A and B are shown apart, each in its own frame.
Chain A
Amino acid sequence: MVCLGRICPDMLINGPIDANPYSIRLNSDGRTDAVAAISAQPPESFSASLLRSLLLRSLLQSDTFDESCESGEMENENETNTEPVEAEVNPWEVSGKIDYDKLIDKFGCQRLDQSLIDRVHRLTSRPPHVFLRRGVFFAHRDLNEILDAYERGDKFYLYTGRGPSSEALHLGHLVPFMFTKYLQDAFKVPLVIQLTDDEKCMWKNLSVEESQRLARENAKDIIACGFDITRTFIFSDFDYVGGAFYKNMVKVSKCVTYNKVVGIFGFTGEDHIGKVSFPPVQAVPSFPSSFPHLFSGKENLRCLIPCAIDQDPYFRMTRDVAPRIGYHKPALIESSFFPALQGDTGKMSASDPNSAIYVTDTPKEIKDKINKYAFTGGQDTKEKQRLYGANLEVDIPVKYLSFFLDDDDELEYIKQEYGSGRMLTFDVKKRLIDLLTELVERHKRARATVTEEMVDAFMAARPLPSMFS
């Protein structure tokens, strides 16, 4: 996953629009010009830093942009202020609320409204996933086209991925994978998962062996999310790049000038050439011809990419290139950000184990973290709580419950009781602790069943004859 680098200050602040058609500008009228990213961003980074990809001023102001990328796919699933004028889009600090409607307008993607959710419900004959119902995945591009084709009998495939920079995975990382698994099961379509070990080797200066090892370790956690091996192909760039995949990379590369890529990612003369030529690696999994062992003869197959909304600019670039090389544009389904435990004032960080719940946490650790570090909207004292109720807007336990508590009625009940003061923070936290403990234990158990052979099988370039059945 590539971080959007420093955007050339001159071009963005002062330069005319045409000088760099691919940079993003937030004008006061809220229009953005063109697209940001060359490459399709795998969802690993989807859960990653919010708008480091995008925006604007704070990126320009901050010299430590690359650092934030270096510090890994952490992740700033935090709410940030997207007011263009103040543009305090700061990937390392979280403040303020995101106005998702404005974001959608700026990027030019579409809201995922109730009618679409109902349509998904109808087409898949099963209740829509909790993330759809709660508006976690709330925006899209061309989802309607995908569904139209699906109704006609033309299937699609899913594409997601992760930049394996560390072994410590937290719940925020799992969110896109949980949703992708649901999509796979509901639509009965194949999935390719890209592990960008080469990217991490380059950006985080890991050895080749170490990044490959991390890719395999991360693959185990991904597999533990419950993907169907008869429909899933996991690949690491180091293992797979070549052949048809590489041919597509070259085709994409030819459509993007050096200036554009510098404008989008902020490469400088000091950056090594590996970084500059990396972006196409993430773009081409959107094209079925990159996987001849899976999709040969199906050149018209469409691709749907679940990701976090900060990835949108990357995919806009891929969508821009696609028709020029004769491919369908990939469709997107986009999510909001997973909040850190400390809420708006915190950010999830690999170096702070208390900012997130990890999939390796023990029940005791989960309990302690929620009790001690979760930011709540409850009042300071029981009495005040009974009187005024909790502020649900900032309350992290309720936010987490809205991600993971499947039962709509129960969530509604909790919100009512807690918001009115009849329920205490302690009770809400307890419910969350039980829920998360169950989730993490289930994940650990599934993880323990993943053998090296299973990883090998998932990662073997093999045909998947029943991938659409």
Chain B
Amino acid sequence: MGYTKEQLLAHLQELRIDFIKYDHPVVLTVEAQAKYVGNVGSALSKNLFLKDKKHRYYIISALPETKVDLKVLSQRLGLGKGGLRMAPEEALGEILQVPLGCVTPFSLVNESARNVSLLLDQGFKSQESCIFHPLANDTSISLQAIDLDAYLISIGREPIYVDLEATPKVGKDQPPDLAAFAPSESIALPDYAEKIPPSESLPKSHVPTNSKPKEVKVAKPAKATTAKVAKVEKEKEKSLVGSVPLAPFSDVDQFAEEILNKTSALLLSEITEDSIKQHGEELGSMVSNTIRKRLSNELKNLAVMFKNTSYTEGFSAGIHYRRKQV
């Protein structure tokens, strides 16, 4: 069902990620955890599992001393004031598939956590190493932040580091700075009366799953009264697509599909009874010229975005690359 600790640790080893494992009695809080692994020279982490009013979930993973103000975060995420709460216990089990006291970035490996946004404290980056639960409360592992990034990327997630203590002004000219990191889809838990069916998701491959191209239709919630509000919000969500690359620009198949779709749409619209009559044999070269003229810029733009996305992924990988220690 949910990923197990053993599976996770094996996965980390496959990825050649160095970590140190500490076993200890079950702990439910950072204080308790600190008793066992507080002195190993690694930074502990406090992990909050949060939910907003639109049934979207977030993991905030931070250094214990970092102040996390839910009101400020809520505004920065574009949820207004008081939009963020601690998620209920059931959500922990249903979505993250971890026990109480065990919220951890690693839980994103589970399919059910596909739409959970993860925000990491940028303070982690300046630590030698950091400690997280590997899907179980009786173990802690310490690893470097870049290795955590490598793991997240390997499960198709984007590591996002944020200054959690920053309090930028949010107003008319200053849109919420973290709005892009709010999930694009909400998660319906089984006991919720109003089901909000998730929108059509993208093909898996290596595309991070919380990206969402604009063509995907917005699903309407069941309740009529909230329909309008939800629709408007979904529209907003559409334009706030996350910081992960959109599929057509990182996935080769989708890229090719997009080009073919545009071309064939134009082709079909140009070949009509009238145009056949008008141009007869010349229709082929006529349509070909039209396609060239109309689509040339658009396809070039698509291509440059694809190129930039690929370069960026290579660049990121390059700066995280560590030569094998001999």
Q: Chain A: residues with CB nearer than 8 A to chain B?
A: 166-168, 185, 209-210, 213, 223, 226-230, 350, 360, 406, 442, 444-446, 448-449, 451-454, 456-457, 460, 462
Contact = CB atoms under 8 A, between A and B. Distances in A.
Contacts of A360: 239
B326 to A, nearest CB: 27
Given A228-B304, A454-B309, A454-B312, A449 B175 contact: no
A457 B316 contact: yes
Nearest to A444: B239
Interface stretch (B24-32, B83-91, B193-201, B244-252): B244-252
B173 A167 contact: yes
Of the listed residues A229, A445, A451, the one surrounded by the most CB atoms of chain B closer than 10 A to its CB is A451
Interface string B289-302: 00000000110110
Given A444-B239, A457-B311, A457-B312, 20 more contacts: A168-B173, A213-B177, A226-B301, A226-B305, A227-B304, A230-B311, A360-B239, A442-B301, A448-B239, A449-B246, A449-B249, A449-B308, A449-B309, A451-B245, A451-B309, A451-B312, A452-B160, A453-B243, A453-B313, A453-B315
Interface string B213-227: 010000000000000
10 A-B pairs with the lowest CB-CB distances in the bound complex, closest first: A457-B315, A454-B312, A448-B241, A229-B308, A451-B243, A457-B312, A229-B311, A226-B304, A453-B316, A449-B249
A223 B297 CA distance: 16
Contact of B308 (A168, A223, A442): A223
B166 interface: yes
Contacts of B315: 453, 456-457, 460, 462
Contacts of B169: 210
Interface string B151-188: 00000001010000010110001110100000000000
B244 A209 contact: no
Nearest to A210: B168
A182 to B, nearest CB: 10
Contacts of B311: 229-230, 457
B310 to A, nearest CB: 9
12 contacts: A210-B168, A213-B177, A227-B304, A230-B307, A449-B308, A451-B244, A451-B245, A451-B309, A453-B316, A454-B308, A456-B312, A456-B315
Contacts of A448: 239, 241, 246
Nearest to A165: B173
Contacts of A454: 308-309, 312
B305 A449 contact: yes
B301 A446 contact: yes
A185 B307 CA distance: 14
Contacts of A457: 311-312, 315-316
Nearest to B314: A457
B301 A452 contact: no
A167 B305 contact: no
Nearest to B304: A226
A8 to B, nearest CB: 34
A229 B307 contact: yes
Nearest to A181: B304
Contacts of A451: 158, 243-245, 309, 312
B308 A228 contact: yes
Contacts of B301: 226, 442, 446
Interface in B239-275: 239, 241, 243-246, 249
Contacts of A444: 239
Contacts of A223: 308
A185 B297 CA distance: 12
A456 to B, nearest CB: 8
Contacts of A442: 298, 301
A442 B300 CA distance: 12
Contacts of B313: 453
A185 B243 CA distance: 26
A210 B166 CA distance: 11
A154 B244 CA distance: 39
A354 to B, nearest CB: 14
B175 A167 contact: yes
B296 to A, nearest CB: 10
Most-contacted residue by chain A among B174, B239, B305 (CB, 10 A): B305
A409 to B, nearest CB: 11
A442 B307 CA distance: 17
A229 B309 CA distance: 9
B42 to A, nearest CB: 26
Nearest to A360: B239
B168 A350 contact: no
A221 B258 CA distance: 23
Contacts of B298: 442
Nearest to B297: A406
Contact of B245 (A228, A449, A456, A460): A449
Nearest to B159: A453
A281 B120 CA distance: 35
Contacts of B166: 209
A348 B308 CA distance: 32
B225 to A, nearest CB: 23
Contacts of B245: 449, 451
From A228, A446, A448, residue with most partner B Cβ within 10 Å: A448
Contact of B312 (A213, A446, A453): A453
Nearest to B250: A449
A226 B298 CA distance: 11
A452 B175 CA distance: 16
A23 to B, nearest CB: 35
Contacts of B304: 226-228
